[in-house]
């Protein structure tokens, strides 16, 4: 129960320590330890990725050019 009782202090402590480590170093360490994780990207980082660019739908609807993100990304056979 101490973890629940000290949740705010624990979060602050972890956030402070993790903030001192480069994300690539932290991700490498977690991978070696088999801890499932991934980098949280901002929208600019997301849409510079080729696979994400492929999800952008550009079309004209009622004479208005639109850009949307495709929501169904899995293809069913």
Vertex 10: Cα angle to 8 and 16 (nearest 5): 100
The greatest distance separating any two alpha carbons of the chain, rounded to the nearest whole angstrom, comes to 60
* Token pair belonging to 4: 């629940």
What pTM did the predictor assign?
A: 0.49
Summarised one tens digit per residue, pLDDT across range 27-54 is: 999 999 999 998 888 888 888 888 888 8
The residues spanned by each domain of the chain are: 2-69
Residues 6 or more apart in contact with residue 39 via CB below 8 angstroms:
23, 27
Residue 71 has pLDDT above 90, yes or no: no
């Amino acid at each position: 129960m101490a973890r629940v009782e000290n949740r705010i202090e624990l979060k602050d402590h972890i956030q402070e320590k993790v903030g001192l480590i480069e994300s690539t170093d932290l991700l490498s360490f977690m991978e070696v330890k088999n801890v499932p994780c991934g980098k949280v990207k901002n929208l600019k980082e997301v849409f510079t990725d080729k696979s994400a660019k492929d999800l952008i739908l550009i079309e004209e609807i009622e004479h208005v050019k639109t850009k949307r993100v495709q929501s169904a990304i899995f293809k069913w056979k």
